[in-house]
Structure 1
Amino acid sequence: MRRLKRVALETLGWVLLIAGVAAIFLPGPGLLGIFAGLALLSRQHEWAHRRLEPVRLRALREAAESVQAPLRMIWSVLVVAGLVGCGVLWILDPPAPSWWPAPESWWLPGGFWAGITLLVSAAITLGLLIYSYRRFHGKPEALAALTVTIEQADEEARDPHDSD
């Protein structure tokens, strides 16, 4: 049973890590996926444990920066709205329009479950946006403290004579 749990957690960790990397380029919370994957993998791999804290800090910094500029907040809300719209479209699965040049089987690939994952991604993104707004918006001191913490972590990572 213990071995099965270990294999399941490692598999989930790799899936989350790969999905997080993909979400860096696709709509979705990439750093959150990378962090979650590393958190699971760090239970069994030292390399993942070493990378966990820097990813967490950078994810927090990105969250803080995302709510400092009104244009970035507007863009984030528009991305969430687009994800919701696409998710609903995929779930409703209308027939391919007459202008669609490819075979009809290529219209909205993935069907219902693709729509569900788009809605889940939108919900996670909206939750992160709300969290970031409440924790960091209008609080430049929180972003400054986070930046100092990141710089200290980077300095410790570069110091080969660290005596921990």
Structure 2
Amino acid sequence: MKGAAKRVGVEVVGWLLVVAGIAALILPGPGLLMLAGGLVVLSQQYEWAERRVEPIKREALKGAANSVETWPRIVATCLGIVLLVAAGVLWYVRPAMPEWYPLSERWWLPGGKATAITQFASAVVAVGLLIWSYRRFHGKPEEIRRIEQQADADDDREGFFGR
């Protein structure tokens, strides 16, 4: 019984991370990181997930490296983080609906404080990832080249989604 509970727990956590990662590819958040995390968890039970961990991990690392390659990109990322925090503050304070707002009041800043908290948490994760990316990749073109060459070689060998 204990083994079955562990298997169900791993499945639930893995699929939640995969779904949240896919959503975060569109919404604010570390989408590739969550997607990779979900696949790592699912790879404990499924061979298909194990085959997809490395390509997604490489894409996430390429994205991290590219995000700190130039100062304009770093500034743009910082601006995005500031906007995310500002939106969180707006949702947390929840000012009165303006007169010009075309929808009903129930659609004015839906989610309330829970949304604000997730925006603050996303901003903290983004700052952490920015610092990590900067320390690992900024000013290290050889590291970026190594990741890109490895990704290109692996893509040529088996394609992005494996066999």
Percent identical across equivalent pairs? Answer: 47
1:78 paired to 2:61: no
Q: Displacement of 1:94 after TM fit?
A: 2.2
* Partner in structure 2 of residue 50 of structure 1: 51
User: In 2, are the aligned partners of 1:28 and 1:121 still within 8 Å (CA)?
Assistant: yes
Paired with 2:43 and 2:114, the residues of 1 have a C-alpha distance of 30
Q: Displacement of 1:52 after TM fit?
A: 0.2
Paired with 1:137 and 1:57, the residues of 2 have a C-alpha distance of 17
* Runs of 4+ more than 6 Å apart: none
User: In 2, are the aligned partners of 1:61 and 1:146 still within 8 Å (CA)?
Assistant: yes
User: In 2, are the aligned partners of 1:27 and 1:79 still within 8 Å (CA)?
Assistant: no
Structure 2: runs of 5 or more not aligned: none
* Partner in structure 2 of residue 24 of structure 1: 25
Paired with 1:58 and 1:98, the residues of 2 have a C-alpha distance of 45
Q: Displacement of 1:95 after TM fit?
A: 2.3
- After the TM superposition, which of the residue ranges 124-133 and 6-15 deviates more from structure 2? 6-15
> How do residues 2-151 of structure 1 correspond to structure 2 at under 5 angstroms?
2-151=3-152
Q: Displacement of 1:14 after TM fit?
A: 1.2
Deviations 1:35-89 (A, max 9, x none): 1111111111111110001111111111001101222111111111111111122
**Aligned Cα root-mean-square deviation (Å):** 1.5
Residue 126 of structure 1 aligns to which amino acid in structure 2?
A: V
Structure 1: runs of 5 or more not aligned: 159-164
Residue 24 of structure 1 aligns to which amino acid in structure 2?
A: L
Paired with 1:92 and 1:7, the residues of 2 have a C-alpha distance of 39
Compute the TM-score of the two structures, normalised by the length of structure 2. Answer: 0.90
